[in-house]
Amino acid sequence: MLPAAVVAAGRRAEAAGFGYSSEPLTGRLLATLSAAVRPGGRILELGTGAGVGLAWIGHGLGARRDVQVVSVEQDEGLAAAVTAAGLPYGCKVFVGDAATLLAELGRFDLIFADAPAGKWTGLDRTIAALAEGGVLLVDDMDPRRYTEAEHVAVVDGIRRTLTGHDALVTTELPVGSGLILAARR
Ligand SMILES: C[S@@+](CC[C@H](N)C(=O)[O-])C[C@H]1O[C@@H](n2cnc3c(N)ncnc32)[C@H](O)[C@@H]1O
């Protein structure tokens, strides 16, 4: 059974015709990782969408009040709708380009990279924003999702960067849209 907040966010996405929300398996992992964030920690989501990922983060945090959550969305309308629907405690949605904002937002203990910016481009900025011991979750990494050769090449480049990075310990999870989990040593 899905958490009520996730169901509500999914309904809002459907009503808005937004078809890029996180799949339940990705969401459950995101919730689990959120629950494990260190006391007083910080979580960053790149790409708010219709708020499904945030609902999973809120589910993972439960009654915790010690974690700061930041989500970045380029589309003003999406950001406004998610904010109006009510955010998890301690959460703020920033409107703007994730790759640009990454330089200003500080470091995070959990990053969910779910926008092209900060993943397809500017991945180095996302890695730089990862605190020591921090965890990065990247989705949509299954190359079979892509028909264009250049997109497959980009995804392969992301995979190589994460798996070959000296400071990261990385696991590929061939589930859902294709997940990569990386922790900074
Ligand atoms: C896959 S959806 C996010 C889904 C959401 N994280 C979830 O878990 O349901 C990707 C989002 O990234 C946003 N986006 C695209 N380019 C962006 C950018 N440069 N900066 C910030 N957000 C961007 C899109 O508008 C879209 O809402």
Q: Is the C-beta atom of 73 inside 6 A of ligand 1?
A: yes
Q: What is the pLDDT of residue 176?
A: 87
Q: For 65-120, how does the pLDDT look when each residue is reduced to its tens digit (9 = 90+)?
A: 999 999 999 999 999 999 999 998 889 999 999 999 999 999 999 999 999 999 99
Q: Is the C-beta atom of 20 inside 6 A of ligand 1?
A: yes
Tell me how far apart the alpha carbons of residues 106 and 154 are, in angstroms, rounded to a whole number: 26
Q: Whose Cα sits closest to atom 1 in ligand 1? A: 20
Q: Where are the alpha helices (DSSP H) in 17-172?
A: 24-35, 52-61, 76-85, 98-101, 123-128, 149-164
Q: For 122-160, how does the pLDDT look when each residue is reduced to its tens digit (9 = 90+)?
A: 999 999 999 999 999 999 999 999 999 999 999 999 999
Domains in the chain (CATH in brackets) are 4-184 (3.40.50.150)
Ligand 1: residue of 7, 20, 78 to mutate (most ligand atoms within 8 A of CB) is 20
According to DSSP, the residues that pair with 38 across neighbouring strands are none
Q: Is the C-beta atom of 76 inside 6 A of ligand 1?
A: no
Tell me how far apart the alpha carbons of residues 102 and 123 are, in angstroms, rounded to a whole number: 10
Q: What is the pLDDT of residue 105?
A: 97
Q: For 64-77, how does the pLDDT look when each residue is reduced to its tens digit (9 = 90+)?
A: 999 999 999 999 99
Tell me how far apart the alpha carbons of residues 106 and 103 are, in angstroms, rounded to a whole number: 7
Q: Cβ atoms within 10 A of the Cβ of 36, count? A: 12
pLDDT bracket for residue 175 (50, 70, 90): confident
Q: For 15-56, how does the pLDDT look when each residue is reduced to its tens digit (9 = 90+)?
A: 999 999 999 999 999 999 999 999 999 999 999 999 999 999
pLDDT bracket for residue 6 (50, 70, 90): very high
Asked if 92 and 71 touch (Cβ cutoff 8 Å), the reply is yes
Q: Whose Cα sits closest to atom 27 in ligand 1? A: 49
- Write down the residue that tokens 């974690």 correspond to: 67
